[in-house]
Structure 1
Amino acid sequence: MKGAPDWLDLTALGGVSAALLALEVLLLRLFAFSHWYHFAGLSVSLALLGLGAAGTTLTLAGRWRFSRGDGWFLMGLGITAAGFLVLLALQSRLALRPLFAGWQPAELARLLLVDLVAFVPFYGAGLAIGQVFLRWPQRTRTLYAANLLGSGVGSLGAAALLTVMPVEAALAVVAALLFGLGSVLAAARGRGLSAAGLASGLALTLVVIVQPPAPAVSDFKALSRLRELPGSETLVVAPGLPGRLTLFRADSLRFAPGLSLQWMQGVPVSDAVVVGSDRLVPMPRRWPADDAHWQAALNGLPLALRPEGRVLVLGSSAWQTPLAAGGRDVTWVEADGRLLDIARDRGASDAGLSLVEDGAWRHLVTADARYAVIAFDRAWEGGDAATEDYALSVAGLARAMARLTPEGLLAIPLRLDYPPRHYPRVLATLTQALQRHGGAPPAERVAVLRGLQALVILASPQPLTAGDRSALRAFAERWRFDLVWLPGLAREQANRYHRLATPLFFDIARARFADAPLPVEARLFHTAPATLDRPYVWRSLVWAQAPALVHELGGRGWSYLDWTLLLSALTAVIVSVMAFALILLPLGRLPPLRPPFSRLSVAGYFTALGLGYLLIELALFQRLILYLGEPVLAAALVFATFLIGSGVGSAMAPETADLANRRRVFAGLALGLVPALLTWLAVESLSTPPFPLRALVLVAALLPLAWAMGRPFPWALRQLADQPRWVPWAWGINGFASVLSAVLAPLVSVHIGQSTTLAAGVLCYLAAFIIAGHWLRLMRNY
């Protein structure tokens, strides 16, 4: 048996690690595309348990010599690559309805089958990666560096693949690279049968790359509904980081979400773009489009009130302010440049629109112009409870107010639901933004109107004039919209046309502006303002109120719950129980652990590192969405920076156990934390540079911390080198803790704040520092 890994072993280890990270990224995209995105995180978290299960397997198998040979590594590599192909085949045949799994056993069985198949490649990769630490325990520093560097390359590679090909093709490409790498390794080690088998897998995968099986899509998705329309025609399918873009055409496609029921004329036909499988953006067949119906729509109201001046549209949705503002000087800001390209090809630029590819927050920070109207079109689509929306935070709305002319109008459209789920919180956030901006009381600067299915909130830097109030009353009267709030509006005037049991929306606004208790119906939901530290404006779940919500609304109440948060909590429980069982399972088969180590201290140290690493990394990922806009881009940048930086730090970690090295290992964390905190302390400075410079500065801010965080793990694992049977157990515990922290991080950030998530990760490293000190004190006694 070789005493040290050679370059080919390290390359193979880096390749499997890269494939594992790429699989995690691609699997999230695949599950979100094919079935309910709330379940994507749950499925991937359960699949990641395969890493911990592999650690348990290696702990049990470590007594036998064959577990330390090339054959074991090649077996793990082959299982991983084959698992990719099986997963692709299954996803092309099963269109899931995960929410039905609660009461339909057949649907539950289908969901569990997908999770089990997704478990397989993670388990195989865990067998291969974990085995090298068991095989060469004296080389943990080098091995961990190769593991992390490979993972960093996999993160960047997954993002690069998604920009040029659909997710199913990207998965096949990663599988082909694995089969190819395994074939080379097997041939070099003289394992002809293994080389032939892996080469056969490579040949099959190359065929799959040419014609990958398309994922089956749930019939609840917008993509499925548009495909099934009579005469539906697919014009364009394009890959991209924000998701696969599909452009549809059908003569029955018409969109007018804020239109009055009193409008008796037609609505023009439109094409439709679907990003991913759920985000729907109408696209006119040609600019300018027929705009007659906008006079009777809430979409056109702020434009009618301010008929002169520049218009800023933030994001894209079926609200369609760029169309309603036909003929005006319009700046349309959209992070997905593919949507702007389609609009440009259809004459949008010629019709007077300035198309800007940028995030809403950054444009508000960097724009110099003043606008008569700023429309948050993307708000119409809403969002997930754990999705960061920095532009709709207090700071974001305050910046929007600063970009308005003195008499300008801010417009925030919302889907109407009853009881109102998001309206109270959006109104609270706007109220605090108006207070921060200064001037007259918010109650004098806000107007709210609602129709049957839509609601729009209007706000101005100055009090609404008598002319504004008169025009709003006339518009509501003419087109039968309900005035929800208007300065001087009486309660009995607020519920005239689309009548509710009580004028609840008026009561909410009055309570919010008077800083009084909200009506009982509004207290069913979370109503605190969204801030930069908790930019989750679409979070509505109040855990204590969930049973009452379901009881009062019956079956409809289930749709009001924030399923991402519920399933994250469920995942945390499942992962904890399964991890505890798999950690305890091998203990009876292991030799005694010699001092200064104990089972509890080893478990505590590696649990703290697993929790701390991901909590810090994910808190910074959430924060960098503020500066980069696109979550997938932020994920690729943060994960690659941390993994590559940690890989370099691991290669430079000390090996001996003494107090001086303990200080060196952990002191770097404190020093590295200082530049990372600039992402909280220098918001405006980091938002303004152009993208290349901005990305470079952000990487520079994170790299020292990433380097330091790569050192504690190999340093401690090296101390277990003379007890190699315990190495995979410690590695597996770290893996379980990482899975758990990936679930806990969004829960902590949503409920308490991103800074708290970061602080919790730092405390985990402090706990590891204390445990390491305990080991060193005991060493002096032996």
Structure 2
Amino acid sequence: MNRLASTFVAASLALLASAVIAYEILLTRMFSFLLQYHYSFLVVSGAIFSLGLGALAVSRFRPSDAHRWLTVLALATSLCICLAGVFILRQPRAGVTFLVIAAGLPILTAGAYLAMLFRTWGHDSQRLYFWDLSGAALGTAWIVPAMDLGPGAVGACAAVAAAAGALTAMRTSPRHWGLLSSGGCLAVAITVGVFLDVDLDELAGAADKPMFRGLSASQNPGRIVETSWSAYARTDLVDRTGDTGLNMYLDGAAGSYLFRFGGDLRRLFFLRTEAPCFPYFFGRRDHALVIGPGGGADILFGLLTGWRQITGVEVNADAVRMVRSRNQYSGGLYDLANVDLHVGDGRSYLERSDELYDLIALPLVYAEAADLVGYQLAENYLFTREAYAAYFEHLTPRGRLSLVLHDHPLMVRAVATLDDLWRQHRAESGAILDHLVIIDGTRGGSEKTGRVHRPVLMVQRTPFEAGTLDTVMATAEELGLHVFFAPGIREPEPLASLRSGRLLAPGIDVAPVTDDRPYFYDVTPGADAKLVTALLVAAGLTLVLLLSGLRDCRVVDARPGAQRFVALSGALGAGYMLVEVFLLQRLTLILGHPVLALVVTLFGLLTATGLGSVLGQRLPLLASRGLAAALLACGLGSATLPLAPGLLEWCQGWSMMGRIAASLLVVVPTGMLLGLPFPAALASAKVSREDAIPWMWAVNGAAGVLGSLAAVVCAMAIGSTWIPVAGGLCYLLASLGLARGPAGPSTATLTTGSRSALVVVALVFIGWLAVLYFTDSRYVSPPNSGIRQVPPAVPDAVWPRSIAAPSATVTF
């Protein structure tokens, strides 16, 4: 057989890689809705582990017609994607084990495809690896608009895999059976894409998320009014009351409320007694910023209390669209003359703004989410020490920060982080307490339990004065609210312990939340037990695969050993994934939207890795010392990545295209370096002992999952700064092992496909630009209605007796 794979085979590889990575991203999106976010991450990680098992399954299989079997495996991947999608969406509570098995089947067949292809054309590994990564990069792009189809995107992934089978079928003889089979798989994919949907009845019966409980409630069961899928989340509007308003859910969990509002604030007079409305009564009511308004409740709080200007920043574009599409129902809330709404990440917007605000409000922003590619578990950056510093920098001298949190442990953790921020500015420990008032959201429940639920934190830039505190206490009493904490008046434990220099809160992680460790919702001290268990299981399985591969590839009789290639593959899999997770996590803050992190960071990294592979053909990488030098460069480059976020902070105020360009300046050189070693090692293994290639794919895939889990545990335990350092260490250890090993084969690398590589890169780049334009219009800057309505008049009766009503009405 020709040492060079045909263009049909290379293009088939690109399509299959595109389908598989798109399927992995889609899995994360579906599981984020179906499961709790920890389980979503674990299930997807377990499924990806199947890639290595698939490679191992064909290690002893030597077909006489590789094209025919590649066609079979590609079409099997297509059918398995359909079967997995049907099982997952129709049996979402089948159990984690069954979900992992179902989700992993397409990845297992894809792993077998990769191992067979690279073993057959191992001499051409560097060129093929370029096609592999280019296809994967394109998959990260096209799946973003495809996820608007919701479950229909399953059919899109299966259709692309079927097309991969059709391309390899073109090289079989006779080819008609392969083309007919590909057509049949395509028909199945289209059918699944059109008719597949989620079994909401089973989810409602499980009742393990707020939306699912609402759908199955015995009183006022919910009815879904509208559903919208996107690359960011699934957003649902659910009608439970029929009159007061609609519940809005994000991935079935993060709830907000869209009130029925016809323009008369007297209809919503009851909102004045809600705890989240309390901060809007106090101080100068000039300009308020609401981060995460959702259905618009906090916008109504600002209107009800007469704020002159209200700016909202909502990361979920579908939430904004749903409110605006119901202007008659919502009273045109987001299109009033004194309401200015933006779509994007609230902190990113704030750090690019020069405005000062009298109030910055974060109303129950629910930040838990499984990452889009399933390789990391990250929250957003709204509750870190650096975020709080940005909020206070954008407050007027007597401005206030309002935080609405879920429960008592999160309140304690927020106060601990705020105290750390104050101490960084040379304040005494506990000085934050003089700036803090906490309102219990359960109307006095904390008096009995000593714990708050849905607490509202008011943090003033200057210490609260005695007169202001008297007004706060009187207003709370009149509105039927309970003040849990007020400096010098009511200081319960554990917050009072801060006065003595240390916050004593057993069972709660009181370490400050930082951009380096942004896991605000993980309140239990130490790493999450489920993640540690998954890490140990992944480590054990990877070790078993590694030892088995080393044993199988040892020197036997006259056959040379290839153990170093198997060990090298493990180091490369873990190291690459550690670097990838770090870049995805930290560049999300710079880019300003999680979908942009997918479209820019992951796309850029995969494309650059593919370019590094094809450029490596011109370097002496097949010799051990040449490969060791490349690994050394990868290690040193990875170890310097912790400097990147600090340098990119200078770009925070730039336009979106400027921030994208700055991010790519970090991602592209890194990816090109990391693209050198693995394909060169595959080509070397083909020369030395091709039996090692399936083992290399198996160990590399397993180590990649191990690396992603290790990255999350590392970030939670000691901070994400150390993730690329650990990745660099993997590369450096591999370099040391190769440098001390035998010289290796001296066969020259095949330098082919440079012209076709340029064409592929050009096509992929054009596709990326189209998706980038879609992402900007869909997620970052959706158009407003263009209608600006006069804000409603504020009724005098809204004001508590302890607060004087405004003397004049502001005109617009």
Superposed, 1:269-308 pairs within 5 Å as 269-286=244-261, 288=263, 289=265, 290-306=267-283, 308=285
Q: Does structure 1 conserve the Cα–Cα contact (< 8 Å) formed by 2:3 and 2:121? A: yes
Give the distance between the partners of 2:316 and 2:238, measured in 1 at CA: 17
Please give the root-mean-square deviation of Cα atoms over the aligned residues, in Å.
Answer: 2.8
Deviates more, 1:82-91 or 1:634-643: 634-643
Deviates more, 1:375-384 or 1:612-621: 375-384
Superposed, 1:524-539 pairs within 5 Å as 524-539=507-522
Give the distance between the partners of 1:429 and 1:287, measured in 2 at CA: 41
Using a 3 Å threshold, how does the CA distance of structure 1 residues 436 and 401 change in structure 2: closer, same or farther? farther
Deviation of residue 296 (structure 1)?
1.9
Q: Does structure 1 conserve the Cα–Cα contact (< 8 Å) formed by 2:363 and 2:405? A: no
Deviation of residue 770 (structure 1)?
0.8
Pair 1:183 & 2:166 matched: yes
Write the letter of the residue equivalent to 2:722. Answer: T
1:316 match: secondary structure: coil
Tell me which residue corresponds to 1:464: 464
Superposed, 1:365-376 pairs within 5 Å as 365-376=351-362
Give the distance between the partners of 1:281 and 1:312, measured in 2 at CA: 17
Using a 3 Å threshold, how does the CA distance of structure 1 residues 602 and 381 change in structure 2: closer, same or farther? closer
Deviation of residue 65 (structure 1)?
4.0
Tell me which residue corresponds to 1:12: 12
Using a 3 Å threshold, how does the CA distance of structure 1 residues 598 and 750 change in structure 2: closer, same or farther? farther
Write the letter of the residue equivalent to 1:703. Answer: V
Decide which of 35, 50, 74 is 1:77's aligned counterpart. Answer: 74
Tell me which residue corresponds to 1:44: 44
Deviation of residue 286 (structure 1)?
3.4
Residue-by-residue CA offset, 1:754-777 (whole Å, 9 max, x unaligned): 111111111111111111211256
Deviation of residue 467 (structure 1)?
2.1
Give the distance between the partners of 1:597 and 1:516, measured in 2 at CA: 63
Give the distance between the partners of 1:122 and 1:5, measured in 2 at CA: 23
Deviates more, 1:376-385 or 1:601-610: 376-385
Give the distance between the partners of 1:576 and 1:192, measured in 2 at CA: 45
Q: Does structure 2 conserve the Cα–Cα contact (< 8 Å) formed by 1:95 and 1:218? A: yes
Decide which of 501, 504, 513 is 1:515's aligned counterpart. Answer: 501
Pair 1:775 & 2:738 matched: no
Using a 3 Å threshold, how does the CA distance of structure 1 residues 449 and 3 change in structure 2: closer, same or farther? same
Write the letter of the residue equivalent to 1:340. Answer: V
2:188 match: secondary structure: helix
Residue-by-residue CA offset, 1:3-56 (whole Å, 9 max, x unaligned): 320100100011111111111111111122223332122222222222111222
Tell me which residue corresponds to 2:182: 198
Give the distance between the partners of 1:571 and 1:136, measured in 2 at CA: 35
Tell me which residue corresponds to 1:693: 658
Write the letter of the residue equivalent to 1:334. Answer: E
Decide which of 84, 88, 95 is 1:87's aligned counterpart. Answer: 84
Using a 3 Å threshold, how does the CA distance of structure 1 residues 215 and 28 change in structure 2: closer, same or farther? farther
Give the distance between the partners of 1:689 and 1:512, measured in 2 at CA: 39
Deviation of residue 188 (structure 1)?
4.1
Deviates more, 1:201-210 or 1:312-321: 312-321
Using a 3 Å threshold, how does the CA distance of structure 1 residues 443 and 596 change in structure 2: closer, same or farther? farther
Pair 1:389 & 2:380 matched: yes
Deviation of residue 337 (structure 1)?
2.2
Give the distance between the partners of 1:415 and 1:226, measured in 2 at CA: 18
Superposed, 1:628-643 pairs within 5 Å as 628-643=591-606
Decide which of 396, 408, 429 is 2:399's aligned counterpart. Answer: 408
- Structure 1, unmatched stretches of 5+, are 97-106, 254-268, 492-505, 544-561
Residue-by-residue CA offset, 1:387-431 (whole Å, 9 max, x unaligned): 333221111101111111111111111223xxx322221101112
Deviation of residue 252 (structure 1)?
5.0
Give the distance between the partners of 2:294 and 2:323, measured in 1 at CA: 13
Write the letter of the residue equivalent to 1:172. Answer: G
Q: Does structure 2 conserve the Cα–Cα contact (< 8 Å) formed by 1:179 and 1:198? A: yes
Give the distance between the partners of 2:662 and 2:409, measured in 1 at CA: 39
Give the distance between the partners of 1:735 and 1:644, measured in 2 at CA: 19
Tell me which residue corresponds to 1:619: 582
Give the distance between the partners of 2:580 and 2:136, measured in 1 at CA: 14
Deviation of residue 228 (structure 1)?
4.4
Aligned length: 708
Tell me which residue corresponds to 2:319: 339
Tell me which residue corresponds to 1:559: none
2:203 match: secondary structure: coil
Tell me which residue corresponds to 1:244: 234
Deviation of residue 82 (structure 1)?
0.7
Deviation of residue 655 (structure 1)?
4.8
Deviation of residue 592 (structure 1)?
2.6
Write the letter of the residue equivalent to 1:86. Answer: L
Superposed, 1:322-721 pairs within 5 Å as 322-326=299-303, 327-328=306-307, 329-345=309-325, 346=327, 347-348=332-333, 349-350=335-336, 352-379=338-365, 386-416=377-407, 420-436=408-424, 441-452=431-442, 453-490=453-490, 506-518=492-504, 522-543=505-526, 565-585=528-548, 592=555, 601-653=564-616, 654-658=619-623, 661-662=626-627, 665-666=630-631, 668-669=633-634, 676-677=641-642, 679-721=644-686
Using a 3 Å threshold, how does the CA distance of structure 1 residues 48 and 454 change in structure 2: closer, same or farther? closer
Deviates more, 1:739-748 or 1:657-666: 657-666
Tell me which residue corresponds to 1:132: 117
Pair 1:758 & 2:731 matched: no
Pair 1:314 & 2:305 matched: no
Write the letter of the residue equivalent to 2:253. Answer: D
2:510 match: secondary structure: coil
User: Quick one: percent identity of the two aligned structures?
Assistant: 22
Tell me which residue corresponds to 1:552: none
Deviation of residue 442 (structure 1)?
2.0
Tell me which residue corresponds to 1:141: 126
Give the distance between the partners of 2:675 and 2:558, measured in 1 at CA: 25
1:689 match: secondary structure: coil
Write the letter of the residue equivalent to 1:200. Answer: G
Using a 3 Å threshold, how does the CA distance of structure 1 residues 462 and 667 change in structure 2: closer, same or farther? same
Deviates more, 1:633-642 or 1:763-772: 633-642
Using a 3 Å threshold, how does the CA distance of structure 1 residues 91 and 383 change in structure 2: closer, same or farther? closer
1:528 match: secondary structure: coil
Give the distance between the partners of 2:510 and 2:641, measured in 1 at CA: 31
Write the letter of the residue equivalent to 1:406. Answer: P
2:723 match: secondary structure: helix
Residue-by-residue CA offset, 1:524-567 (whole Å, 9 max, x unaligned): 12111111211222121224xxxxxxxxxxxxxxxxxx8xx332
Q: Does structure 2 conserve the Cα–Cα contact (< 8 Å) formed by 1:679 and 1:686? A: no
Tell me which residue corresponds to 1:745: 711
Residue-by-residue CA offset, 1:259-298 (whole Å, 9 max, x unaligned): xxxxxxxxxx111222222222211233645332233222
Using a 3 Å threshold, how does the CA distance of structure 1 residues 144 and 184 change in structure 2: closer, same or farther? closer
Write the letter of the residue equivalent to 1:206. Answer: I
Deviation of residue 158 (structure 1)?
1.7
Give the distance between the partners of 1:779 and 1:88, measured in 2 at CA: 45
2:686 match: secondary structure: coil
1:523 match: secondary structure: coil
Deviation of residue 325 (structure 1)?
0.9
